Each structure stands twice: as structure tokens, then as C-alpha cells.
Amino acid sequence: MAFKGEVLSVSELLALSVETLPGVQSPAGAVAKDAFSVRHTAAGNARHCSGLIEGGESLDVGWRFGILQTLDDYVSTVRRGGVKLGAAVFAEEPPRTGSVELDAAFAALADHLAERDRWEAPSWAQNAERAVESWYPAVSSIFREEAKAESPRAFRQRGVFITERSLARA
């Protein structure tokens, strides 16, 4: 079977590929829509958590669909646009979720990632009200001592105790 398509030069192929990538400027100077933008935020995930909590879901569900989802969103955003763009995931203060534990965990995650990746934590993450006395999200009782020992400073400081594996993602 003979090829019946159009043969494009390397320059034409590059121009076509660039036009389909968000945020990349084509040789003609056009920038694709939804450049390297933040698609999901901690604030949006907190609003979702609020609905889950109001609907009677457990704090463990809130942890998974709020905190771990925000972590995944941050990592994805950093991969697409770098650490500066990743920090924008936390730019808007997350609204209160109806759970002081989750509110503390959102602040802890922002502070932890800022420290780890060397960007300035948002001011809302330093709010003293975003802390609890003691919470072990998705940590069974047999691992609580381990969580106390391994919990990163940002989490421990807010009374949220997690194991080293708690933030591990596939």
C-alpha cells in the first residue's frame, strides 16, 4: 500500500506539535490556551472535602480525597510547569472543611512541600488555628509510635502524625 498523506518538513512537524502543547509558543508567536496553568488547587479540593464531610464521610476519606489528591495535583503541576507553578496550587487559602483535622493537614501539606521544594509557604498555612492536638490520618494504632517519630516537622507541628509511607504515591 502506497503512502497517500502529505509529507511535511521537520520545521512544519515541529510547528504542528508546538501548536498542540499548552503554553508553548509556536514559531508564528501564538501561545496555546491553558498554558502551564494550575488545573486543581488545594482550595478546590478542600471544597470537595467539605461536601464529603457534610455527607457523613470519614476523615480517612477526606484525607484521601483532599490531602493525597492535593499532593498528586501538586506533583502533576510541578511536572508540567515547575516548582513555582506548583506553589500556585496553594495560593488560594482552602476554605474550612468542617474538620479541624483536615484543615490542619492542608496547612501542613503546604508548609511541608514549601520546605521540601524551597518555595515560600503561603501565609494562611501559618495560621495557628490550623492545628489539632493529635490526629493520625489513615494510620492504624499499631503504627502510631512510628508516626510520631517519622512525621515531618510541618505535620508534627500541627498535631498531624503520619508515617513515612503516608505521603508515598505510586
This model's pTM is above 0.85 = no
- The contacts of residue 46 (CB under 8 Å, 6+ apart) are 66, 94, 95, 96, 97, 102, 103, 106
The mean-pLDDT minimum among 29-38, 41-50, 52-61, 142-151 falls in: 29-38
Residues 127-148 have pLDDT tens digits of 999 999 999 998 999 999 999 9
